Amino acid sequence: MLKKRFYPFLLFLLVILLLAAELLSPGFVRPRHLGVVLRQAAFLGFVGVGQTLVILSGGIDLSVGSLVTAGNIFTCELLGRNPDLSPPLVLIPLLVMGVLIGMINGLGITMLHIPPLIMTFAMGSIVDGMTLIYCGGSAAGYATPPIQYLGSKLLFGVIPVNFLLWMILLGGSTFLLNRTTFGRKLFAVGTNEIAAYVSGVNVKKVKIYTYGLSGLCAIFAGMILAGYTQTGFLGIGNEYTLSSIAATVIGGTAITGGKGGEIGTAIGALILIIIQSILTVLRIPESGRKIVEGLVILLLINAYFERGKK
C-alpha cells in the first residue's frame, strides 16, 4: 500500500496547480468551472480505477483505450438505432462484454504466458477491429437523454453527475483493495507472485478477475463518455491508455506492482487534467503537452522514490 505521507505531497501539488491556473486564467477556480474540470477528470478516473488494479497486480493494460472507444461507439449505435430500448438492456450487455474481454486478457497472460504488454496491446487491436466492423468504419448514432444526463449533467450547476459515479466506483475499489480478501491477495501477487503462490493464493484467478475489472471500468468510461460527446467517435479512447497509466504512476502506484492505491490515482487524474487545462490556456501545441506530461511523470516518480527512502 502507498505510504499515506505521499498523499499530502500530491494534494499540495494539486493546490499549487490550481493557484497557477487561476493566475493564468482568472475564474478558473470558480465553482462552475471546477465542475467542468471534475467532469473531464471523471472519464480518466473511471479508466484509472481499473488500470490501478492491474498495475498493482504487476501487470499493465493497453487495451483500455480501445474499450473506451467501443463503449462510446456501441452505446450511441445501439441506443440511437433503438431509442425505445431501455438503457439497461443496452448497457448491461456492454458491461458484460467489457468484463469478458478483460478476462480474456487475463487468460492469455496466465494460461498462455503471453506478456501483459503484448496480450493487452493485441486485444486492443482486436477490439478496434470489432468496433470498426460493427459501425462500418463510420461512427453514427446518438446518446439518449438518460445517458446524456449521466455524462454531461451538472447538478446545481456545479457537481457533475459523472463525478459522483466516479466517487462511487472509487469508493468501491478502495474498499475492495483495503477491506477484502481479494484485495490482500492482489497486493500479495503484485509484491511477489511466487511467494503469493506458495502461500496458497490462486494467482491465475486473481489476475483474471483483475483484468476483468479493468475491462469493466474501461467500457463503463466509454458508455458515460457517450453521454458527454452525445455521438460516437472512432478513436476517442486512444488518449486514455497512456493517460490512465500516467495518472496511476503520478499517484504513487509502483509500476512493478504491490504498492499504491486508488486515492493516489484519483489525485493523479486531477493533476493531469489541470496540467492539460493550463497548457491549453498557454496555447501549447500537442507535441509540447506530451513533453510536459512526460517530464511531470518523471519528476513525480523521482519524488516518490526519494520520499520512500526517508
Model pTM?
0.92
Residue 140 — very low, low, confident or very high, per pLDDT cuts 50/70/90?
Answer: confident
CB 77 within 8 A of CB 232: yes
Instruction: Specify which residues 202 forms β-bridges with.
Output: none
State yes or no: pLDDT of 126 exceeds 80. Answer: yes
Backbone phi and psi for residue 204, each to the nearest 5 degrees, phi listed first: -60, -45
Q: Which tens digits make up the pLDDT trace of 39-96?
A: 999 999 999 999 999 999 999 999 999 999 999 999 998 888 777 778 888 889 999 9
C-alpha cell at 138: 463510420
> What is the structure's pLDDT at 187?
96
> What is the structure's pLDDT at 122?
97
> What is the structure's pLDDT at 288?
82
- Total length of the chain: 310
Q: Which tens digits make up the pLDDT trace of 141-164?
A: 888 888 999 999 999 888 999 999
**Higher per-residue confidence, 139 vs 201:** 201
**Higher per-residue confidence, 241 vs 289:** 241
> What is the structure's pLDDT at 87?
82
C-alpha cell at 176: 475492495
Residue 171 — very low, low, confident or very high, per pLDDT cuts 50/70/90?
Answer: very high
The enclosing H or E element of 154 equals strand 154-155
Residue 47's identity, in one-letter code, is V
CB 127 within 8 A of CB 67: yes
Q: What percent of the chain has pLDDT over 70?
A: 95
Helices (H) and strands (E) in the chain, counts: 13, 2
Distance CA 205, CA 182 (A): 10
CB 216 within 8 A of CB 61: no
Instruction: Specify which residues 154 forms β-bridges with.
Output: 160
Q: Which tens digits make up the pLDDT trace of 217-268?
A: 999 999 999 999 988 889 899 999 999 998 998 888 988 888 889 999 999 9
> What is the structure's pLDDT at 13?
87
> What is the structure's pLDDT at 69?
96
